[in-house]
């Protein structure tokens, strides 16, 4: 944003020097409009066409002890693949619940994920088995030591700040058919 401000200041300076000429005035107006016209394009590129907006995911309320979590649900391959990619922030108790139909080790990475996250891996009975911290925009694998059917991503440090550890049981998880 500071770069755009400097560019606009320079353009205004040049325009002020040459306002007497009509052609220059029209060129100045066009030059001033271009950075503003490009801003929506730059923002649109952050989330690719076809990606779901955060409000388009189904949501559920989970509880971890006394904490209520507003969790978007990713329960199909496309939603799990997108996850929290391209998000620039999460509300304080907002996260994403990944739902799998197979009791297995499900690994995650942070490609195109712009914010650091913590992830809890969860068994079918709601018990957290593992928690890991994940840096933004990395391709390291984050795998639990135990099988599970759910994973819950929250802002980095959320679980530690709330005193939620492996062994804590989450309530409100959807009922699933485990294969």
Provide the edge-to-edge strand list for the sheet that holds 59-64. 128-134, 117-122, 148-155, 94-104, 67-74, 59-64, 170-171
Q: Which residues contact 143 (CB under 8 A, 6 or more apart)?
A: 105, 106, 107, 108
Distance CA 60, CA 135 (A): 25
Alpha carbon distance 64, 172 (integer Å): 9
Go through 84-113 and write b for each residue having 16 or more CB atoms within 10 A of its CB, e for each that does not.
bbbbeebeebbbbbbbbeeeeebebebebb
pLDDT at residue number 49: 82
pLDDT (0 to 100) of residue 28: 47
Using DSSP, state whether 11 is helix, strand or coil: helix
Residue 33, C-beta contacts closer than 8 angstroms, at least 6 positions apart = none
CA distances from 86 to 70, 79, 115, 125 (A): 19, 13, 8, 31
Distance CA 40, CA 93 (A): 29
Q: What is the pLDDT along the chain (179 residues), one digit of tens a residue?
A: 555 455 545 655 655 565 555 555 555 445 545 555 444 434 433 677 888 888 999 999 999 999 999 999 999 999 999 999 999 999 999 999 999 999 999 999 999 999 999 999 999 999 999 999 999 999 999 999 999 999 999 999 999 999 999 999 999 999 988 77
Predicted structure pTM score? 0.74
**Are residues 154 and 118 in contact, defined by beta-carbon separation less than 8 angstroms?**
yes
């Amino acid at each position: 944003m500071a770069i755009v401000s400097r560019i606009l200041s320079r353009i205004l300076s040049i325009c002020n020097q040459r306002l007497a000429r009509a052609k220059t005035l029209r060129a100045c107006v066009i030059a001033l409009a271009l950075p503003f016209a490009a801003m929506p394009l730059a923002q649109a590129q952050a989330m690719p066409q076809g990606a779901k907006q955060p409000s388009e995911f189904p949501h559920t309320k989970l509880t971890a002890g006394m904490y209520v979590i507003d969790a978007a649900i990713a329960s199909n391959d496309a939603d799990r693949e997108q996850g929290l990619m391209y998000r620039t922030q999460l509300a304080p108790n907002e996260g994403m619940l990944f739902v799998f139909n197979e009791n297995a080790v499900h690994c995650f990475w942070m490609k195109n994920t712009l914010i650091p996250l913590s992830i809890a891996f969860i068994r079918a009975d709601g018990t957290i088995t593992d928690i890991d911290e994940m840096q933004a925009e990395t391709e390291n694998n984050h795998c639990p030591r135990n099988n599970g059917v759910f994973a819950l991503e929250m802002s980095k440090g959320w679980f530690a700040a709330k005193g939620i550890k492996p062994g804590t049981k989450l309530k409100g998880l959807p009922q699933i058919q485990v294969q």
